[in-house]
Amino acid sequence: MVLVERNYRVARGPSARGAEVDLIMRDRDGTLVFVEVRSRSGAEHGGAAASIGRGKQQRCIRGAQHYLMTLNPWPPCRFDVVAIDGEVLQWIPAAFDAS
């Protein structure tokens, strides 16, 4: 994959959380991949992947929607997660969707 953007952020307002995407990548087949990266010291309490709740997913989706407004036509997209638990890295393709 090729890195397109890193730490893509959209401000929402002084009292509301904005949107953010840690990495935006382009896969070989042209798919735009929005990546959430989470790190935890260990896998206790479900680990890094389990720490990505619906609210965090929604902020990532809003960031992706904002980014996609600059493109015409929209490429195929997916949301991946990179979960780092201590020394263990796991890349989870299509970890969640925008629905």
Residue 89 has a pLDDT of: 92
Structure tokens at 22: 């840690």
Domain boundaries along the sequence of the chain? 2-96
Q: How far apart are CA 70 and CA 47, in angstroms?
A: 34
Q: How far apart are CA 47 and CA 79, in angstroms?
A: 19
**What's the CATH code, domain 2-96?**
3.40.1350.10
Q: Who's near 15: CB < 8 A, 6+ residues apart?
A: none
Task: Sort 41 into a burial class: Cβ within 10 Å, 0-12 / 13-18 / 19+.
Answer: exposed
- pLDDT of residue 40 exceeding 90: no
- The pLDDT tens digits of the residues spanning 76-94 come to 999 999 999 888 899 999 9
